[in-house]
Amino acid sequence: MPKLKGHLLSRLLGKEFDGDEEQYSQEELGNLQLVGNKLYSHKVLRVNYTTYDVRRDQDSMNPRTHSDVMVCSRETESGGHPYWYACVLGIFHADVFLRGRNVRNRSVQRMEFLWVRWFGIDADHRWGRTVARLPKVGFVEESDPDAFGFLDPSLVLRGCHLIPAFADGRTSQLLACPHSVGRPADETDDWQAYYVGM
C-alpha cells in the first residue's frame, strides 16, 4: 500500500515518471486518502495508437492472455534502450483525494493505474539491424525492490509481443514462490529471457 500511495501521490503532485518511485514520509502518504479504502479492478486495458501508415488502431490487454506492454524509456539520452517493458498483473482505479494544510485541490479524483512486473534489458545481448537480432529482456529478480510496481496507463505506448528465448530455458530463481500472481496460474517458473518482437 505505501508503494501504491507513493505512485498516486507523485502523479497528483505532477511529478514526471522517470522509472524511480519517489520516497515520501508516512505523514505525506497519510495525506492521500482512498475513498472507502476501495480499489476497483478492471478486466481490459485499451490503448489507442497510431500505426506505421498513420492510421488509428487500438490494442486490448488483459492480465490473463495478452499482458505485455511497452513505455518510453527515460534512458535514451545515455544511449540506453528506447523502451521499457512490463507485464500487466492488474488493471485498477481508485477514487482518491488529498488532505492537509497546504493542499489546494481537495476534490475526489478518479485515478487509473496498472500493477506491473517489470522486465529488464539484457545488457550483454547485442541486437539491432546490423547484427540481425531482436532485443532481449527478462524479468527483474524479486529481490530488486523495483521488480513490481505501478504504472500510469496513459504512459503505455501499446502492447508488445514477447517471444520466449527457448534456448535459455526456464528458471525459478527470479520469483521464488511457485504459485504467484506474478506469473500465469498454470506455470511454476519463468522463462529465463524473452525476445521482443519488432
Selection from 41, 85, 80, 84 nearest residue 67 by Cα = 85
**In the block, which residue shows the cell 520469483?**
175
* CA–CA distance, 64 with 62 (Å, rounded to integer): 6
The pLDDT value given to residue 38: 94
* CA–CA distance, 120 with 97 (Å, rounded to integer): 33
Q: What is the DSSP letter of 145?
A: T
* CA–CA distance, 118 with 26 (Å, rounded to integer): 26
pLDDT tens by residue, 48-89 = 988 889 999 998 998 888 889 999 887 766 567 888 999 999
> Secondary structure of 72-99 in the HEC alphabet?
ECCCHHHCCCCEEEEEEEEEEEEEEEEC
Residue 107 has pLDDT above 60, yes or no: yes
Largest CA distance in the chain: 58
Q: Mean per-residue pLDDT for 5-27? A: 84
Q: Mean per-residue pLDDT for 81-104? A: 87
* CA–CA distance, 96 with 69 (Å, rounded to integer): 26
Name which residue leads in pLDDT, 152 or 121.
Answer: 152
The pLDDT value given to residue 42: 95
Q: Mean per-residue pLDDT for 9-32? A: 83
Selection from 121, 117, 52 nearest residue 82 by Cα = 121
Q: Mean per-residue pLDDT for 99-122? A: 85
Selection from 102, 112, 105 nearest residue 154 by Cα = 112
What is the model's pTM? 0.86
* CA–CA distance, 54 with 37 (Å, rounded to integer): 43
Average pLDDT across the chain, whole number: 86
Q: Mean per-residue pLDDT for 189-198? A: 86
pLDDT tens by residue, 152-189 = 999 999 899 999 999 988 888 787 776 777 776 666 67
